Amino acid sequence: MTTPLLRDEEAEVGQPSTETGAHDNAPHVWLLRIISALIVPAVLALFFVVFEFLQDPRRNKLLQIALAIVVGVGGVWLLYWALDRVVTLLPERAQAAVRPFVFAGPALMILGFYLVYPTVDTILTSLRNARGDEFVGLDNYIRIFTESSYLLSIRNSVFWAVIVPIVCVIAGLAIATLADLLPRRTESVFKSLIFLPMAVSFVGASVVFTFIYNFRPEGFGEQIGLLNAIVQALGGSPTDWLRMPFWNNLFLMVILVWTQTGFAMVILSAAIKGVPDELLEAARIDGANEWQVFRRITVPTIASTIVVVWTTILITTWKVFDIVAVMTGGRDGTSVVAEKMVTEFFTFQNNGIGAALAVVLLIAVTPILVINIRRFREQEATR
């Protein structure tokens, strides 16, 4: 039986948490949070406006850089130090509620400005004409989903989004599984070689594959393309690979697969090494062969990692521009949404259509981001 004294003590113990929660949600506390999060961005903006010296092209560049580093780094440190000192003057409960906003708030505000504002501006631009001075409603979107050139870009992007992530995940999973069977030193060298293309930019990778797919018509010199050299060595005729309808898209996809398979391999290899040995041994003792162990134990155990890798590569695939721009420029039926967007913006100066294509990309990528966030939360909840 609980005595009155114990009940009084329990009430006293429980009371502060209620008061703290109410205090944290008080209007004046939220006002302090917002002000503390805005101080650093406001001071930085004022710094760049006032310091005309840093924007004067006639000044010494090294002096400008040195001043920007000293004043920028030192000034920001001093600003955070001063804000922290001010927070210590607040009541103890208010300190705990406001201090996180002093340090994390400015980054969130700046990030929000550079993400939210351009997004809203792009959506509004997509509702205007090419010059952006007249409201046209959904006309740009109607054009995108009715004209053949834009439909071709959307079809190709969907094609890329289906094939590339699947091939990368399967290849990465296969390589990671086989590499796990190698001796440790050999495994490290093997993985390094597979991962190496990840360090190459898409433009650099495209230049490399230019020499692989290179084709010269008859009378314009010898064939220097690696693929055509192999074909000729086998008795075939050289082919202009990047002008073959349908197949040219697949040849371009090979470049992205080459650069992204190493990423998939590294992440999936780490996940495979995290599979408990007890599960694998128990399956083998029960009579399962290696394929059954892999299919029924390893793959289900690392399923969440596979989804994360797949969605990450899928987002990269939707945004691919460099490969198409360098290799074909979108000609011969190879255009994709990202390449078409840049072309409309900067080549044809059609801001309305370019912004509409950007919104289409945003809509296509958003569900993938939601899936990634949900999977991450599920993983955190199971830890």
Give the model's confidence band at 263: pLDDT under 50 very low, under 70 low, under 90 confident, else very high: very high
Provide the terminal-to-terminal Cα distance of the chain, rounded to the nearest Å: 38
For CATH 1.10.3720.10, list the domain ranges present in the chain.
141-382
Q: Partners of 183 in the beta sheet?
A: none
DSSP H/E element including 207: helix 202-213
**Rg of the chain on CA atoms, in Å:** 29
* In the predicted structure, residue 80 carries a pLDDT above the cut 90: no
**pLDDT value, residue 286:** 84
Give the model's confidence band at 164: pLDDT under 50 very low, under 70 low, under 90 confident, else very high: very high
- Give the C-alpha separation, 376 to 357, whole Å: 29
* In the predicted structure, residue 20 carries a pLDDT above the cut 50: no
Nearest to 266 by CA among 193, 351, 172: 172
Q: Tell me the CA distances in angstroms from 27 to 30, 83, 157, 239, 288, one per residue in order.
A: 5, 20, 48, 71, 63
Nearest to 211 by CA among 46, 306, 122, 327: 327
Name which residue leads in pLDDT, 240 or 13.
240
**Are 311 and 376 within 8 A, CB to CB?**
no
pLDDT digits (tens, 9 = 90+) for 280-328: 888 888 888 888 888 888 888 888 889 889 988 998 999 898 899 999 9
Assigned token pair, 296: 């029924």
* Region for 362 from its dihedrals, namely left if φ exceeds 0, alpha if ψ lies in -120 to 50, beta otherwise: alpha
Find the largest Cα–Cα distance for the chain: 104
**Are 338 and 361 within 8 A, CB to CB?**
yes
Length of the chain: 383
* In the predicted structure, residue 55 carries a pLDDT above the cut 90: no
- Give the C-alpha separation, 287 to 383, whole Å: 31
* In the predicted structure, residue 143 carries a pLDDT above the cut 50: yes
CATH class, range 141-382: mainly alpha
Of 1-15, 208-222, 239-253, least confident by mean pLDDT is 1-15
**Are 136 and 129 within 8 A, CB to CB?**
yes
- Give the C-alpha separation, 380 to 101, whole Å: 24
